[in-house]
Amino acid sequence: MTAKVIPSVDLRVARRPPIIPAQALSPGGALPDTCDRPTTKDKP
């Protein structure tokens, strides 16, 4: 029963972790850091 719950959670967690952990870890540090990097490279 656990084998069926692990794959199901992995699929849902793999699609939500990229945005949830980034905002949950730093709601004002992870977003600006990622937005500042791409913006600085695009400007120059």
Per-residue pLDDT band for 30 (boundaries 50, 70, 90) equals very low
Please report the DSSP string for the chain in residue order. Answer: -HHHHHHHHHHHHHHSTTTHHHHHH-TTTHHHHHHHHHHHHH--
Q: Report yes or no on whether pTM surpasses 0.85.
A: no
Question: What local confidence, expressed as pLDDT, does residue 14 receive?
Answer: 53
Average model confidence (pLDDT) across the chain = 53
**What are the tokens at 30?**
């992870």
Q: Which of 3-7, 16-20, 22-26, 33-37 has the highest mean pLDDT?
A: 3-7
Please compute the mean of the pLDDT values over residues 13-20 and round it to a whole number: 54
Question: What local confidence, expressed as pLDDT, does residue 10 receive?
Answer: 60
